[in-house]
Each structure stands twice: as C-alpha cells, then as structure tokens.
Structure 1
C-alpha cells in the first residue's frame, strides 16, 4: 500500500506534488527510507556521507497535482519614513 504525502515544491513555479514516503514499519531501514554511511579519503579523514535508498521507498515516484499561479506584488511608491504626512 503506498504511503503518499502532499508537498509544496519550487520557488519560481510553485507546485503541489504527491510523493511516496518510506514505510514506517520497514525492518531494514526502520522507516528512514535508506542507509547513510560516512566514508573517508585515502588519509582516513572524513570526506562525506553516502546515501543508499531502501527498497521500501521510491524517491523518484511523484505526481504533479497543481501548478500554483505566480502572484505578483504591487509596487508601492517610495515613501519618506520621516514624513509626517499620512500615507494616503
């Protein structure tokens, strides 16, 4: 049974998408969706972290639900902050 979640993605073109999530009761990854392990360089120093996804989750599985319109902000005239005039 799929475990679906709604997410909001993007900055320029915001989109609502439906994504798959890891199985919370998976005995291999304990619901984390994969396995992270650190690795080192040839001198034994920390060089980064690798991520191997678990088979209980397909992180590429997603569907676009709705593309949200871009809301343009109205430009306001420059106002003098020291003015005693009302803003209207």
Structure 2
C-alpha cells in the first residue's frame, strides 16, 4: 500500500477566529468515493417511509479534521462594517422596477 500525501488547499475560516488555514482535500484518484470525499445516504421516516434527510459518511481517503493554521487575520474595524448588506441603495426596497436596457 502506498502512502498518500495530503492534497492541501488554502481556506479562510471564521471559527474560532478569522485565519487562513491549510486543509486536506479528498484524493481525486480514490476508487471508493471517486474524489467526492464521502458517501451520501438518504433515509426515511420510520412511521411513514417518507424522505427525512441525508447522512454523510466521510471516506477513508480524506480527513475533514486535518487543518494547519497559517496566518491569523485581523477583524475589520467596526466603522468599515456595513449594516445594510442585502439592500440595494439604488432600488426601492432592494429591487429595481426598471427594465435592464
């Protein structure tokens, strides 16, 4: 059995604080999960048999918990944070009623 080297990518995280971290990714040549990193299992309600949700089972080619912090990122100052993120200031109530000509 050959040892698999981790396939790393840089990711920004917000918990426990803002930081850049290196994370492990699924092996694209994995024959079990075909590079998806795991398997989805749909399940139904016991009483009615209707769809109730999906479970996720990770593959052995990937460790979701493997992370290496690289660089802590500073928080933005309070005066730079926007309060109305979802509202368009040029449209009434966030949406424009004009056609896009």
- TM-score normalised by length of structure 1: 0.78
Report deviation, 1:14: 1.4
Looking at secondary structure, tell me which structure has more helix per residue.
2
Runs of 4+ in structure 1 displaced over 2 angstroms? none
Number of corresponding residues? 75
CA offsets per residue over residues 1-58 of structure 1, 9 Å max, x none? 1100100111783110110000001000000000001000111111110000000000
The one of 68, 72, 77 aligned to 1:72? 77
Tell me the residue number matched to 1:60: 65
The one of 28, 32, 35 aligned to 1:31? 35
Gaps of at least 5 residues in structure 1 are 76-88
RMSD of equivalent CA atoms: 1.7
> Structure 2 vs 1, CA of residues 12 and 28 (structure 1 numbering), >3 Å: closer, same or farther?
closer
- TM-score normalised by length of structure 2: 0.68
Gaps of at least 5 residues in structure 2 are 81-101
Larger Rg: 1
Which structure ranks higher in relative contact order (CA pairs < 8 Å, sequence separation ≥ 6)? Answer: 1
Tell me the residue number matched to 1:46: 51
